[in-house]
Amino acid sequence: MSAAGPVAPAASRSADLLVVGSMLSDVGLVRSINEDFVRFVPSEGKDPENRSGIFLVADGMGGHAAGEVASELAAEEVLRCFFELNGTVPDILSAAFANANKAIFDYGQGHPECAGMGTTCTVLAVRSDKIWLGHVGDSRAYLLRDGELQQLSEDQTLVAKMVREGTMTPAEAKVSEHNNVILQALGTSPEVNPDIWDDGLPLSAGDTLVLCTDGLHGLVDDVVIAEIAGRYPPAEACQELIRHALQAGGHDNVSVGIFRAIAPPDPTSRAARNTRRIPAMQADADGGSADRSTREISAFEGQQ
């Protein structure tokens, strides 16, 4: 466990916030199967103090079919635990990651063709006006506040560790042959040590959250991510960011979610009356690549 990372305080806060947005996943230009998986439930509930939501990206690994099985298992288990278990958010996330790790590891043990499979998993959980991070691997979570983008997650990779220890520069890390060495993933061993915040980070209206796999942040600079996430509505921002990743080579699956903290609309307003819920689209039960190759999940239409 760890405390929330240092973030500049918001100018104003309100517990009465919704966090809504979109996610998009693309198979990329090289791979035939999308091993990424994205899921979210926007923050909902009439009581602001108990309003909860969760946002997740997972990047599977392990060869044909195994990676996409691992990432989907992680998403299903984390979301199930988040909404079924009682307790504090850190305790729930700890249990969710432990259960997801066991589910993936056990599946690999029982299916030789999937032996060694695993997945990254980066989660932002919302309760009331705060977010908590749960993280394993090298997918990322960012906060865009007042035009400044801050990485909330810490890459669990060999080169990132070497940069933190001062034995490698950031410039050297970008071109290192060890860039793809991940130090932790769900399902690759019986035990896992996720990075989970003990303390929630307060949100303010206008804050933008970004979740993405390394198929995006490995090809698109943080400056570009900040500019696009801040300029466009969430659905358009996801499309633009994936377009940039594809233009940069698209050698990996690319997944991104953009979410914005907003004040709930006045239920008597015309805009609120015209807003309708769009159900999240899910992959086929057989895990086929058709739905996974490009899948957009929009939280609300008319609310950006």
Structural domain contains residue 172: no
Lowest mean pLDDT among 83-92, 152-161, 230-239, 269-278: 269-278
- Are 128 and 201 in contact, with CB atoms under 8 Å apart? no
229 has a pLDDT exceeding 60: yes
Q: Comparing 65 with 137, which gets the higher pLDDT?
A: 137
Structural domain contains residue 4: no
Q: Comparing 241 with 159, which gets the higher pLDDT?
A: 241
Range of the domain at 43: 18-144+185-295
Structural domain contains residue 63: yes
Structural domain contains residue 300: no
- Residues 196-224 have pLDDT tens digits of 999 999 999 999 999 999 999 999 999 99
289 has a pLDDT exceeding 90: no
Q: Comparing 35 with 10, which gets the higher pLDDT?
A: 35
Q: Comparing 18 with 179, which gets the higher pLDDT?
A: 18
Most confident of 18-22, 154-158, 207-211: 207-211
DSSP 87: S
- Alpha-carbon distances of 199 from 26, 126, 206, 261, rounded to whole Å: 33, 12, 21, 19
pTM of the model: 0.86
Structural domain contains residue 217: yes
Considering the chain, what is the average pLDDT of its residues?
86
Q: What is the CATH number of the domain that holds 206?
A: 3.60.40.10
Report the helix count and the strand count for the chain, using DSSP H and E: 9, 15
Exposure on the CB side of residue 225, measured as CA atoms within 13 A: 30
Please tell me the predicted confidence (pLDDT) of residue 276. 39
Please tell me the predicted confidence (pLDDT) of residue 176. 85
Question: Residue holding tokens 């990329």?
Answer: 28
The domain tally of the chain equals 1
Structural domain contains residue 154: no
pLDDT (average), residues 119-134:
96
Q: Please report which confidence band the pLDDT of residue 65 belongs to, taking 50, 70 and 90 as the band edges.
A: confident
Structural domain contains residue 249: yes
- Residues 81-105 have pLDDT tens digits of 999 999 999 999 999 999 999 999 9
Give the tokens for residue 92. Answer: 């729930």
52 has a pLDDT exceeding 50: yes
184 has a pLDDT exceeding 90: yes
- Are 238 and 258 in contact, with CB atoms under 8 Å apart? yes
Structural domain contains residue 153: no
Give the tokens for residue 166. Answer: 């001062």
Question: pLDDT > 70: what percent of the chain?
Answer: 82
Handedness of CA 145, 148, 149, 150 (dihedral sign): negative
